[in-house]
Amino acid sequence: MRKRVVLSNTNALEVEGLQDLSKNMVGDKQYIGKVLGLQGQTVDGLRAVEAFKAQQGWGLFRRPGVLVREETVRIGERLNTFKTNGVPRLVLDGNRGAGKSLMLLSSMAMAFVKGWIVVNFPEAQELTNAVTEYTPIPDTPLYSQNAYVATLLAAIAKANSTILDKLEISQKHPNVPIPLQSNITLSRLCELGARDPEIAWPIFEAFWSEITASGRPPILMALDGLQYIMTESEYHDANFKKIHAHDFAIIQHFVSYLSGKKSLPNGGAILAATSRSHAPKSKSVELALQQALERQDGGLFTEKDPWEKTYDARAEMALASVEVLKLGGLSKDEARGLMEYWAQSGVLRQRVDERTVAEKWALAGNGIVGEIERGALRTRI
């Protein structure tokens, strides 16, 4: 029940003239300030990778739609130009309610319509807060979370079925402890790992080797709650010492691509979003993100506090070369487009004019989207 999300409300009005997000719209500036609907296949993929969150208010509307912000177009442009500008390794940051998780969802929606393979870690805290089983991987310093990886493989297979059903394995995988047919599809390969958690990690390694082989589609890998994987976890080793998050194989896999240590041969994008609600405090993450913003702006470079003892060297190395996209409030044009969509859906029962938009925008801390929703849709006077 904690993850139950209602994506449709038959009592809401159907918005006339609502355009659906398509491949040609990705990165197009003319759609800034407009809400675009999501096609059924895209919705199914997003639901499978758990991109929708229960607190985002999807049950108020007839069907899901996303607001195209200026930052949405910037990400879309990076997705379109990865061949010339390189694979984006991007961290989304911003105040609570600024729309970081929704921006991740919009990015995944764009990847789905472009025909990419999408891999999503919807709640990073589930990897580090000691709620899933773990076991040491023989002959390595890493730990495997077999039950989580099995669930992840099932989500990947379901979300990307239209692509994976057409791809067959092209390599030998001696580390997989079960025999594999030579013509098995990648979707079926994921299902084998999802069915038996004991072999989930070797299956995931084989699957990743296949989708990064020559001629495969680009990959979008996303994670929500970055701070959780940049510090020690709540798990303990045999000596009852806390295990660092980077010592878990699936986390190390993501971090190696986010840091740039490994690259995606066929292109794609690596996205991570911070959490500003209840994530653990990390001096290293805050410093790394601040330094990344200063590096992008060409300003002064903030140095470490020489008296601070809680810095995490592994987190600093992982975030040393990432890009940071700082999400602020919506512009007034974007806020108006969103409020007009709410009014057309029948959930905002007041006139949407310049005065109303300016009032809601100002009361929401200069356009913080979560506060606009709270003030316009969830507050009753």
pLDDT band at 304 (very low <50, low <70, confident <90, very high): confident
pLDDT tens-digit readout, 43-86? 999 999 999 998 888 989 999 999 999 999 999 999 999 999 99
Q: Among the residues of the chain, which ranges form H helices?
A: 40-48, 70-80, 82-85, 100-113, 125-128, 146-159, 161-164, 186-195, 200-211, 249-258, 283-297, 313-318, 332-345, 354-363, 369-376
Contact 209, 171 (CB under 8 A): yes
Q: Does the CA dihedral 276-279-283-287 come out positive or negative?
A: negative
pLDDT band at 350 (very low <50, low <70, confident <90, very high): confident
pLDDT of 329 strictly over 60: yes
Question: For helices 369-376 and 332-345, what crossing angle results, to 10°?
Answer: 40
Structure tokens, 50:
């758990």
Mean pLDDT of the chain: 93
Rounded to whole angstroms, how far apart are CA atoms 366 and 332? 9
Q: β-pairing, 89-94 with 65-67?
A: unpaired
Rounded to whole angstroms, how far apart are CA atoms 85 and 143? 35
pLDDT tens-digit readout, 221-264? 999 999 999 999 999 999 999 999 999 999 999 999 999 999 99
* Radius of gyration (C-alpha) of the chain in whole angstroms: 21
pLDDT tens-digit readout, 193-229? 999 999 999 999 999 999 999 999 999 999 999 999 9
pLDDT at 380: 56
Rounded to whole angstroms, how far apart are CA atoms 342 and 235? 44
Rounded to whole angstroms, how far apart are CA atoms 274 and 276? 7
Rounded to whole angstroms, how far apart are CA atoms 42 and 31? 19
pLDDT at 342: 93
Instruction: Say what percent of the chain tops pLDDT 90.
Output: 84
pLDDT of 298 strictly over 60: yes
pLDDT at 203: 97
Structure tokens, 321:
């070369």
pLDDT of 325 strictly over 70: yes
pLDDT band at 98 (very low <50, low <70, confident <90, very high): very high
pLDDT band at 3 (very low <50, low <70, confident <90, very high): confident
pLDDT band at 381 (very low <50, low <70, confident <90, very high): very low
pLDDT band at 180 (very low <50, low <70, confident <90, very high): very high
pLDDT at 35: 96
- Across residues 181-186, what is the average pLDDT? 93
Q: Which of 336, 325, 372, 369 is nearest to 73 (CA)?
A: 325
Structure tokens, 336:
């108006």
Q: How far is residue 329 from each of residues 99, 124, 128, 338, measured CA to CA in Å?
A: 9, 25, 31, 13
CA angle, 154 then 138 then 152, to 5°: 10
Rounded to whole angstroms, how far apart are CA atoms 379 and 351? 16
pLDDT of 1 strictly over 70: no
- Across residues 270-286, what is the average pLDDT? 91
pLDDT at 309: 86
